[in-house]
Amino acid sequence: MSKLFTKDHEWLAVDGDVATVGITAYAQSQLGDVVYVELPELGRRVSKGGEAAVVESVKAASDVFSPVTGEIVEVNAALSDAPQSVNEDPEGGAWFFKIRLADKGETAELMDKAAYDAFVATL
């Protein structure tokens, strides 16, 4: 399952009509030590580019935007007890939420890993 990326430094991995969403290693490195994660409510509908979650670090609080439109079908409850796991595995086990895609076509506008890495290199 390949990952897609946004310019806001979220990643998503699509499996059927559900995508897993988290923040990139670059985003985590910019935030520093993550100390709190606010996850979206199950069943909540979010729009592409809309605020879906919040991540707080010792440096700042940042919104996590949804890369696609859809309905939140699962959240990573482990992050509530162990937000620091985002520091250790941002692009793996420390995913934030899963969303049922309203329109799979929206993923066409996202970047693959090579394009994202090239984008980050310009920052």
Q: What is the CATH number of domain 3-104?
A: 2.40.50.100
Cα-based distances in Å from 89 to 11, 38, 77? 13, 17, 15
Position 2 scores a pLDDT of: 85
Q: Which two tokens stand for residue 60?
A: 């700042």
DSSP 111: B
Q: Which two tokens stand for residue 51?
A: 């605020």
Cα separation, 52 vs 44, in Å, equals 9
* Tens-level pLDDT at each residue, the chain (123 residues): 689 999 999 999 999 999 999 999 999 999 999 999 999 999 999 999 999 999 999 998 999 999 999 999 999 999 999 999 999 999 999 999 999 999 999 999 999 999 999 999 999
| Spans of all domains in the chain | 3-104
Q: Which two tokens stand for residue 119?
A: 């984008």
Cα-based distances in Å from 36 to 6, 17, 56, 57? 22, 29, 5, 7
Q: Say whether pTM exceeds 0.85.
A: yes
